[in-house]
Amino acid sequence: MSPATSLHPEHEAAYAAALDAFLQGESVAVPFAELQADAWPPAAEIIRLHHRLVRERQDAATDAAALEARAAEFLARTFDACDARNADLKRDFADLTELAHLTTWTYDTVTQRLRWSARALEQMCAGMDSVPATPTEAIERFVHPDDRAYVQAMLAKVIADGQSRELRYRFLPPGRAPQWRRCRAIARRDAEGRVTNVFLVSQDITGEIERETEIGILTAILDNIHDVVLVTEPEPIDPPGPRILYVNRAFERTTGYTREEALGQTPRMLQGPGTSPEARARIREALRNWRPITLEVLNYRKDGSEFWSELAITPVARPDGYVERWVAVQRDITERRRAEAQQRQRSKMEAVGQLAAGIAHNFNNLLAIIQGYGEIALRDIACQSPATAQRLGKLLRAAKRGAELVRELAMFSQQRESQPERLNLYCALNEALDLARQLLPAGIEMSGLYLAPPEERIKETCAYLDASRFSQAIINLIINSRDAMPRGGRLSVTLGR
């Protein structure tokens, strides 16, 4: 009885049909031609199936020897095709390793020997008297001392559990600068599940490591600057806009959004009701034309608060001019704009001050004339008409007060400090009230100055003040009280301790 094979029933049927057709003299295609070379059945199974089929057909054949010879020719053609497909596989693999700069080894765990590919021998062992025969020898010879224990441990794990692993290590090629390499270790098992071989594929990743290092340095720099940096896709320009691919830590500090919240969103997440439509239109126009743009724009934080940004958007283009990314750098200029607004206000006040200085100068000349002639008139009629003299005295006190206001204007215009002095509050208040009475309508009654407690010593209360500013403050309070009583009323002022 012929032994059974482990071939798929469809494969057995295909081989049997092709063999019968060939024995009948027909031109047939090689069995399994539609399969990829690496999917062909094992040669031993093909041979076992072939002998079983030949014995079955010999029983009914008139010339068993001729049938066996014809069948042998069919089997030879089958294996020629298999060899050709295997040769194609080897060439494809060689081309792949050449294009991808790969080197390969196979470690036989049974014999504990390491087999080197031709490319591995060429790249690593050129000029060497002997080739390392075991993984331990290769690791000692080619792996950086700081990485040897790590590589040895990873290889041991692959052999122990049969799980494929990837590792990175520093490689020391003879006569050349050290390299970084990525190695993939793939375990192969026998029918009983034991690891019999480990296939190792290695690739030079020195350039990749250098780029990763550069990216790490750039990321550290970007994360430690104060300006917000974000990178987006090139499109779409219209809403919702290009998605955010990267933000630095300054973005998180300034906006309140975390990196995870920002990635995948669009920069429009920072815009709000106060963002200028004109600024938005300018940004869209620049992006549509792939042009850089710098402008100031009002943005919004996660908590809804506003901040002003100086925004610079720059396209990152390929050599053919196609924009691959947009890089936006934003600087919080809220404080700068506030300082500029304050400076503008100061400039306005300086202009007002200059105007006030001119007015004060001219008004002071007028007051000097009034005071001069008033004092002459007071001397002339002091004895003749006491009532008129009293009214002239009030006029002179008002003129004096006007002179003090002129001095205030001069101080404002020239930014001079006030002139504090020891001031009797009782006398200063009475003088201010006397002037203020002239500003009150008939419907408001203002009594004299009250003392609290009603003691004479209160009249001696003094303070170190600027007389003019104190008088102006009292008059301003009285005017405010007047404005608060449009229908009239009673106004009282009390001096106390």
Q: Would you say residue 300 has pLDDT above 90? A: yes
Q: Is residue 197 within 8 Å of 104, Cβ to Cβ?
A: no
Q: What is the pLDDT of residue 414?
A: 54
Q: Is the pLDDT of residue 497 over 90?
A: no
pLDDT-based confidence at 303, cuts 50/70/90? very high
pLDDT in tens, 354-386: 676 667 667 777 777 887 777 788 777 877 788
- Does residue 273 register a pLDDT over 80? yes
pLDDT given for residue 2 in this prediction = 44
**477 band by pLDDT with thresholds 50, 70 and 90:** confident
Beta bridge partners of 310: 296, 331
CATH of domain 101-210: 3.30.450.20
Span 226-332: which CATH code? 3.30.450.20
Q: Which amino acid is at 185?
A: A
pLDDT at 263: 94
Residue 6, pLDDT > 70, answer: no
Band (pLDDT 50/70/90 cuts) for residue 145 is: very high
pLDDT tops 70 at residue 73: yes
Q: Is the pLDDT of residue 286 over 50?
A: yes
Please state, in angstroms and as integers, the Cα–Cα distance from residue 185 to each residue in 144, 409, 469, following that order: 18, 90, 90
Distance (Å, rounded) from C-alpha 154 to C-alpha 455?
Answer: 100
Boundaries of every domain in the chain: 9-96, 101-210, 226-332, 334-416, 418-497
- In the CATH scheme, what is the code of domain 418-497? 3.30.565.10
Q: Annotate 74-114 with DSSP letters as a single string.
A: HHHHHHHHHHHHHHHHHHHHHHHHHHTTEEEEEEETTTTEE
- Whether the per-residue pLDDT at 250 is higher than 80: the answer is yes
3-state secondary structure of 133: coil
Question: Does this chain's domain 101-210 share its CATH topology with 334-416?
Answer: no
Q: pTM of the prediction?
A: 0.49
Percent of the chain with pLDDT over 70: 90
Distance CA 276, CA 9 (A): 74
Q: In angstroms, rounded to a whole number, what is the distance separating the alpha carbons of residues 463 and 147?
A: 84
pLDDT of 83 above 60: yes
**The domain defined by 334-416 carries CATH number 3.40.50:** no
User: What is the residue-averaged pLDDT of the chain?
Assistant: 84
pLDDT at 1: 39
